[in-house]
Amino acid sequence: MKQDWVSRFSDNVKDFEGYSIGKLFKMMDDDPEIISLAGGLPSPEMFTTDEIRLASKRNLTDNAEKIMQYSPTRGEKTLIEAVIQFLEKDNVRVSEENVVITSSGQQGLDLTGRLFLNPGDAIIIDRPTFAGAIVAFQMERPEFVGVTMEQDGSNIDGFKEKIEGLKRQNRKPKFIYVVPDFQNPTGITMSLKKREALLELSYQYDIPIIEDSPYRHLRYYGETTPSIFSLDQEMGGSNVIGLYTFSKLFCPGMRVGFNIGPKDVIELMTNIKEGSVLTTPKYNQDMCTAFLTEMDTEPYFKKCRAYYREKLQLFLDTMADHFPDGDGFSWTQPEGGLFLWVTVPEKIDTLQLFHEAIKFKVAFVPGNAFFAENHEKNHMRINFSYPSKEQLTEAVKRLSVCIQDHGRVK
Ligand SMILES: Cc1ncc(COP(=O)(O)O)c(C=O)c1O
């Protein structure tokens, strides 16, 4: 009998398209001449390969049987302890019961969505926001309530208006999701004033905040702003859940991250994790522990910051020299992270432009992927961390020519 599988897909996933960016990446795989400004990849030049080879060899020699065994769902005790110490340097004070190791930041988001969301629940997000968060939360079919970002981060007054609007319908959002440090995709950082205002809003309406912060240590200009989690702790609150990943701290290949929050939240997240991946591979966790405890991380982060700062500055300078300016063209000036956000005149659909850019051997991510609703089509997310400096300047030139050509053809 021929089974009609499609008719059996669950309501949660039957219209689920997954990560649209992933499909674009596949298009580039076949052509090595394409310079990709699309991925969110750290530079391999910044990978700490020598140290990790040593730690790996020692671990495999001394610990092979343990590595080959199951390990605790919550995470390896040694890693949790290392994470606690690491967070302390950032004024975040948590104990073991407040931490669950995740199989990367993406799982951290998935656990959050599964823990809190019923179909139809409202969640407050930025416009644009991280596409991976949209994909993770979409599984639970929430209602995304978005507010356009401002130069200094989320539009807190806009959030308040949306919350009031929901209140008039006797509804309350389940949480507010933000990426306050060098946001993916815009590179924008939330000011201290806004972090405080966001917390106040969270207290006033009793709505938790999900703070997703993979890029916090990658600041190239300006002063560090306290995390929302630490501000909440200072106020004696417990309104914030922090999502972290080793992907940009150390390397994405390990697929290790951690969520922090109140004990009850972490306990249930751990139970959900049990039902999905059971455990995060011990070997990968041990490599992350070695990274945090055996490497001198501060000089390492300093090196990364200097390296990426140069690339960002070169990229911005080349944009200023070559890219069309004014008349609807603009781009953000990030102080850190891996991305910047380019806006083009509304008449240009960047998904269409992407296909033309491929012919000019350059790629970016069309901005529509970063909107959960009312997709805007005239933006591009640009990554400056992965390509070499020569490739970065060449990519900007190719993109500029492509856009001019697009204008001529239209
Ligand atoms: C804001 C944000 N959150 C979470 C993640 C997930 O990262 P990973 O799954 O690699 O840990 C990313 C990755 O780019 C990100 O930009």
Report which protein residue has its CA nearest ligand 1's atom 4: 105
CB atoms within 10 A of CB 155: 18
pLDDT in tens, 224-252: 999 999 999 999 999 999 999 999 999 99
Q: How far is the CA of 52 from the centre of ligand 1 (A)?
A: 22
Q: Looking at residue 22, what is its pLDDT?
A: 74
Euclidean distance between CA atoms 244 and 206, whole angstroms = 23
What is the C-alpha separation between 364 and 395, in angstroms, rounded? 10
Ligand 1 centroid–CA 6 distance in Å is 30
Could you give the CA distance from residue 175 to residue 160 in angstroms, rounded to a whole number? 13
Task: Give me the count of residues in the chain.
Answer: 410
User: What dotted CATH number matches 6-47+299-409?
Assistant: 3.90.1150.10
- The tokens of 284 are what? 């990968």
Domains 6-47+299-409 and 68-294 are alike in CATH topology:
no
- DSSP designation for 373: S
User: Which pTM value belongs to this model?
Assistant: 0.96
pLDDT digits (tens, 9 = 90+) for 380-389: 999 999 999 9
**Whether pLDDT at 101 is above 80:** yes
Domain extent listing, the chain: 6-47+299-409, 68-294
Q: Does residue 356 contact residue 406 with C-beta atoms inside 8 Å?
A: yes
pLDDT band at 405 (very low <50, low <70, confident <90, very high): confident
Residues 122 and 175: their CA atoms lie apart, in Å, by: 8
Q: Which residues contact 174 (CB under 8 A, 6 or more apart)?
A: 116, 117, 121, 122, 123, 142, 207, 208
Pick the CATH number of 68-294 from 3.30.1330.10, 3.40.640.10, 3.40.50.20, 3.30.565.10: 3.40.640.10
Whole-number Å distance between alpha carbons of 343 and 360: 19
Average pLDDT over residues 290-304: 94
103, 104, 106, 112: CA torsion to nearest 10: 70
Kindly give the number of the ligand 1 atom that is closest to the alpha carbon of 130.
1
Give bridge partners of residue 35 from the DSSP assignment: 362
Q: Would you state the pLDDT for residue 26?
A: 74
At residue 408, the pLDDT reads: 64
Identity at 108, one-letter amino acid code:
G
Nearest atom in ligand 1 to the alpha carbon of residue 183 is 1
Element at 160 (helix H, strand E): helix 156-168
- What's CA 317's distance to the chain center, in Å? 25
Residues with CB under 6 A from ligand 1: 40, 104-106, 130, 132, 179, 184, 212, 214, 245, 247, 252, 257
